[in-house]
Structure 1
Amino acid sequence: MRLPGRIDAAIAVLTDVEERHRPVAEALKDWGLSHRFAGSGDRAAIGDLVYDALRRRSSIAWRMGEETPRALALGAVVFHWAEPVESLNQLFSEDRHAPEKLTESELERLQAASEENMPEAVRADVPDFAAKELERVFGTAWVEEAMALGGRPPLDLRVNVLKAERDKVEAQLARFDVEKTRLSPVGLRVPPREGARRHPNVQADEAYQRGRIEIQDEASQLAALLAASGVDDSGGQILDFCAGGGGKTLALSAALANRGQIYAHDADRHRLAPIFERLKRAGARNVQVRQPGEGALDDLDGRMDVVLVDAPCSGSGTWRRRPDAKWRIREDALQLRADEQEKILHAASRFVRPGGLLVYVTCSLFPAENGERVAAFTEAQPEFQALDLAPAWDKVTAADKPRWATPAGLVLTPASTATDGFFVAAMARQP
């Protein structure tokens, strides 16, 4: 497929997403199944165009004067892929798979539209209520931080030090243009691609198949390393209370060099299901999986050195990876999430031993899910006190503390740390 056909396909996918209110990943999968003539490169380029249109939906619509799927796709390819407007109509006329030729109005918008006088919330490409939440966290820097959430993400890999060394894996994956992550001592990064260039399929590589690497954003790696720093050299006892598919469990196992004991638990057994194969591939031997069920964790009461709570959240810190979620979220959903997070924190806290740590993590940037939850929890359970993570950060990264670090927690962002948006806090249980 050539560019005109890819644009037409992107318009069709965006229309499907809008009309059927469904996730982009599902719409792209269905399009691919019904258009089997499209190669993997075509499908990747169409996906990139759809995601770029959604990452910058608000600003593209403002410049185009309308928010239709066609306007979003055309705006993305011109404003963000730098395709010359003058060549589009010629390309459209030469390709039977192309959308209709540009109208005079579209030509004018694409040629003349600028960001001058664009409202801040539009330039930030976030919903209005999210703009208010982000301003509460970042003050006058909120637009800069929000715009970074609209960029393309890198592909981050965590080197599994149970099986490999970072330098050797970097050499093995040199053809992918990998580079060492700046903060995580076990990370490698494939930088964001431009235009229709896609990330490599590292899961097909020997390094992945043999368990030497895992796909994991640098912020998630750091969260696990910070949690692991709360135990001594013997490894200690760690409960990953919301383990999901096991990404942080695997990182904890490697950080502890298979010492100590990690318990992986999740309330949803379906989310937990992939962990068994992943543990086997990674060579993680210090992990015990605890399936959900009555009394499944009773024997761990008050015994854990560290309890890690990677709480369900809005996912606002990962909007550059899931831009469709940015436009589906509603303000009232934040309160529902906050209530759920509060219940999870209280449920997890009983497993922390006196002198142990409760580590709270979200991939959100909203204070209602982050600092406010920590403050509410420590007020309700005064035996827990917020711990300054600066010493642990220095130990893990040997880097200056993040721009948005406070004694109550660390906020990582695409703009300030070049990671996904994450919040990490630690609360110590008094002896």
Structure 2
Amino acid sequence: MSEIVKFLATVLYYVEKKNFPLAVAFKRAYLYNKPRKIDSNLLYDYSKRLILSYYALPQGKRSFKVRYWLENKENIEIKFPNWMEEKLSTLLDIKALKGKLKERWVWARINLLKTDIDKIYRELEGKNIEFESDKDFYYMIKIKKSSVRLSSLSIVKDCKLIIHDKGSSLVVEALKPEIGEKVVDLSSAPGIKASLYMMLTENRAEIFLADVDFKRLLKEYSLLKRCGVDLSKIHIIYQDSTKNSVIRSDKILLDAPCSSSGMINNDPSILLKLWDNEKIERFAKLQKSLLSESLKITANKLVYAVCSLFPEEGEKVIEDYYEIAEKPFSNYQSGYSLFKVGEKSNRTFPHTDSTEGFFISTLNLTKL
């Protein structure tokens, strides 16, 4: 018991004081305070549930909070910050959302630039990893159960199988990728979406990747190389996209910086950064600025997306463009009905789609 308390208190320390994502906090704690004879999957599940219950824990030292949680974990509910509870309860089934967050799932994409589907299926079956193929996208699979860390697999290390949420792949699919076209991605790092775009166009399109962080751009370039992307078709632009330098393109992707509130299933540490709504307001201002600037580019289509549950970052950002907005997918639910533009957008949720929470809308720029 004392070993588990020490381990979970260490995870909590890294999340609270160092602002580490859960995965990083867990890795650090596991490195220095690994409990003996306790399954790592169980430890991760405990760590995730502890952070999801953070706002329901009593005040006190971390060890006290951990002991309280361990003694009462079956009765402690997942709790969001009060303002978030109130906001989301008017928009979605918050009880269903919380219930789904207790589960663990992983989406992965078969990288057809480096392998084929049958080879990946055989590799996973050989490792006794339970998975199911996706009904919508032939290259997506959902990992249901694995006794090994996916990151330790050679097919993952070699970027033949890429951990990639299905909701994120929908953002790329909304562009309707076509061979021979040019696309600009105005907030491109870390590059997972760009690699999918190049896969879907068989390395026969050009993509202009812009980001404000040069180090992230370098990492993105390295990732694309490892993914088998033809780097001669990649153009790196180091810029603040609120002061965009691109003049024209066939299509534009604006997967804008956001609160990442749609990712709380994979990283519940995000909840600790959302103790008030100041972050939402700050991102909404940035998103509107980015969208306004991107519309100066001569192009046919723009896809706007955020990994956020909040309308301030989704529907409210594009509501002034209702006349040119189009719903990307007919087989996915619409945006929030409280907003007129909701009918011209899509939303995905953990509890309805087993994906991260995304907002996606297409703007038909030929109507401007």
Q: TM class by shorter-chain length?
A: 0.7 to 0.9
Please tell me the root mean square deviation across aligned C-alpha atoms, in Å: 3.1
Deviates more, 1:24-33 or 1:152-161: 24-33
User: Does the Cα contact within 8 Å between 2:334 and 2:345 map onto a contact in 1?
Assistant: no
Deviation at 1:244, TM superposition (A): 0.9
Matching residue of 1:413: 349
Question: Structure 1 CA distance, aligned partners of 2:23 and 2:332?
Answer: 36
Mark the runs of 5 or more structure 2 residues left unpaired by the alignment: 59-63, 337-341
Cα distance in structure 1, aligned partners of 2:24 and 2:240? 34
Q: Does structure 1 residue 265 correspond to structure 2 residue 201?
A: no
Q: 2:4 aligns with which of 4, 7, 14?
A: 7
What secondary structure is seen at the aligned counterpart in 2 of 1:190?
A: strand
Alignment check: 8 A CA contact 1:219 1:419 kept: yes
Any idea what the Cα deviations from partners look like across 1:278-325, whole Å, max 9, x if unmatched?
222222116413231489963x41x21211111111111111111122
Q: Give, in angstroms, the shift of residue 153 of structure 1.
A: 3.1
Q: How far did residue 427 of structure 1 move? A: 0.7
Aligned counterpart, 1:217: 165
1:364 maps to 2:308: yes
Is the Cα–Cα contact under 8 Å of residues 335 and 359 in structure 2 kept in the other structure?
no
> 220, 229, 237: which one pairs with 1:291?
237
Summarize deviations over 1:365-407 as a string: whole Å, max 9, x none.
Answer: 101111111114x27xxxx71112235xxxxxxxx33365843
Q: Distance in 1 between matches of 2:317 and 2:147?
A: 36
Larger radius of gyration: 1
Q: Aligned residues: percent identity? A: 19
Q: Structure 1 residue 20 and structure 2 residue 27: aligned?
A: no
Partner of 1:129: 83
1:293 to 1:261, Cα distance in 2 relative to 1, 3 A = same
Report the 3-state secondary structure (helix = DSSP H, G, I; strand = E; otherwise coil) of the residue aligned with 1:162.
coil
Q: Label 1:132 to 1:185 Cα distance change in 2 as closer, same or farther (>3 A).
A: farther
1:199 Cα offset (Å):
6.0
Query: Residue 71 of structure 1 aligns to a residue in which SS?
Result: helix
Match in the other structure for 2:339: none
- Pair 1:155 & 2:106 matched: yes
Kept after mapping to 2: 8 A contact 1:253/1:284: yes
Could you say if the C-alpha distance between residues 220 and 40 of structure 1 is closer, same or farther in structure 2, counting changes exceeding 3 Å? farther
Change (3 A) 1:284 1:10: same
Structure 1 counterpart of 2:306, one-letter code:
T
What is the rounded CA distance, in whole Å, between the counterparts of 2:319 and 2:236 in structure 1? 29
Q: What SS does structure 2 have at the residue aligned with 1:238?
A: strand
TM-fit CA distance, 1:177 = 1.4
Taking structure 2 as the reference length, the TM-score comes to 0.84
Corresponding residue of 2:329: 390
Query: Which residue in 1 is equivalent to 2:281?
Result: 335
Are 1:56 and 2:50 counterparts? no
Cα distance in 2 between the residues matched to 1:419 and 1:179: 14
CA distance in 2, matches of 1:309, 1:48: 34
Alpha-carbon shift at residue 416 of structure 1 (Å): 1.0
Evaluate the alpha carbon distance shift between residue 60 and residue 220 of structure 1 in structure 2; reply closer, same or farther with a 3 A threshold. same
> Alpha carbons of 1:11 and 1:34: their partners in 2 closer, same or farther (altered >3 Å)?
closer
Counterparts of 1:202-351 in structure 2, within 5 Å, are 202-227=150-175, 229=176, 231-232=177-178, 234-285=179-230, 287-293=233-239, 298=245, 300-301=246-247, 303-329=248-274, 330-351=276-297
2:115 equivalent among 160, 164, 174: 164
How far 1:276 moved relative to its partner?
2.1
After superposition, give the CA deviation of every residue in 1:172-216 in whole Å (9 maximum; x if it has no partner): 21222122124333111212x5xxxx7633333332344322111
Deviation at 1:56, TM superposition (A): 3.3
The Cα shift of 1:217 comes to 0.7
Say if 1:160 and 1:212, in contact at 8 Å, map to a contact too. Answer: yes
**Rounded Cα–Cα distance in structure 2 between residues aligned with 1:204 and 1:124:** 30
Q: Which runs of 4+ in 1 moved over 6 A?
A: 294-297
The runs of 5 or more residues in structure 1 that have no matched partner are 62-66, 80-113, 116-122, 392-399
Q: Per the alignment, do residues 260 and 39 of structure 1 end up closer, same or farther by CA in structure 2, a change over 3 Å counting?
A: farther
**TM-aligned CA deviation for residue 336 of structure 1:** 0.6
Residue-by-residue CA offset, 1:29-58 (whole Å, 9 max, x unaligned): 4434434x6579655543331211122345
Change in Cα spacing, 1:276 to 1:128, as seen in structure 2 (3 Å) is: same
